[in-house]
A = this chain, B = another copy of it.
Amino acid sequence: MLYFTSDYTTGAHPDVMARLVATNLEHTVGYGADPYCAEARQLIREACQAPDALVQFLVGGTQTNATVIDALLRRHEGVMAADTAHINVHESGAIEHSGHKVLVLPSHEGKVRPDEVEQYVSNFYRDETFEHMVAPGLLYITQATEYGTVYSLAELEALSAVCRRHQIPLYLDGARLGYALASDGADFTLADIARLCDVFYIGGTKEGALFGEAVVAADPARLPHFFPLVKQHGALLAKGRLLGVQFGALFTDGLYTRISRHAVLLAQELRNVFVEHGYRVALDSPTNQQFFILPNAVMDRLLPDVSFELWGPRGETETTVRFVTSWANTKEDIDALRSLLDKI
């Protein structure tokens, strides 16, 4: 079986796992106050060129979004996001559970546009009844988006500028941030992200860790009293060092970058394979997620040998599908896929 279902269908990258094994019998204090977390925080600060940054490790994406958004919003405020945003669609109402409304912006293949953010905020305060409405108090974006698309540096700068003009924090969900950074044409660095966003997180779960997300705020004053809030949200891992150990591995010798670049390169090859065989690309993604429109007959021929995801319901004659690559895929996987397509 060839696996292209998702980037979280295996355990950890071997180097991450090796470090977990190597440190397994050591005794440390809990809740992230251990030396491994301290070291990983320092590595991340350096990678972000943000020497004073608050770095807090959490376990998963939904809990990270819920906790950060709860920390950043005042009670009368909501969070602006694309209508396709993970927090608006696939978090079972975790944001609302903490009392906050998601304020929906148009999605352009997963991205929001600076002018539409500007318009939303400006119109809001122009409305005479605005005090009866939920104020836009935060902008949430994903990088890469749920559709594999990527904001350019210019777009990020424009979004950041709009937000700062209105004193609205910008929060970036980086569940797949590495793949965005490693994409062809990426003209921004982790340091740019740290500079332009008030808070963001570096995803571990989908980038080679067993689990774990690293929240970063270049200015720690952006997240006061964050630790008890993490605890309140049930997001504090008792054996917190497991997060430090893993992020330490990911940010040593460029592993995070290598994992990301490896997956992106394979994704581009995979895309070429489909294009060569005459299949249509559904969406132009430079990252490790690829979307194709396949005739149902072709899809059905692949399914016994290849694991991938239907993107939406099965169509009458053709269906949109998603292929995802990760560190666990190899060049051989792509070749095998090509051979399968050759036979169809």
Binding site for B on A (CB under 8 A): 1, 3, 5-6, 8-12, 14, 17, 20-21, 23-30, 59-64, 66-67, 70-71, 74-76, 78, 89-94, 96-102, 104, 126-129, 131-135, 205-206, 210-211, 225, 227-229, 231-239, 242, 307, 310, 313, 328
Contacts and interface: CB of A to CB of B under 8 A. Distances in A.
14 contacts: A5-B29, A12-B24, A59-B59, A71-B75, A75-B229, A78-B96, A92-B133, A92-B228, A92-B229, A93-B100, A93-B101, A128-B310, A135-B228, A211-B238
Nearest to A76: B228
B234 A66 contact: yes
Q: How many copies does the complex hold?
A: 4
Contacts of A62: 231, 234, 236
Contacts of A29: 5, 9
Q: Is chain A's interface secondary structure helix, strand, loop, or mixed overall?
A: loop
Given A27-B3, A104-B104, A134-B96, A90 B129 contact: yes
Given A75-B232, A76-B229, A231-B62, A5 B21 contact: no
Nearest to A224: B74
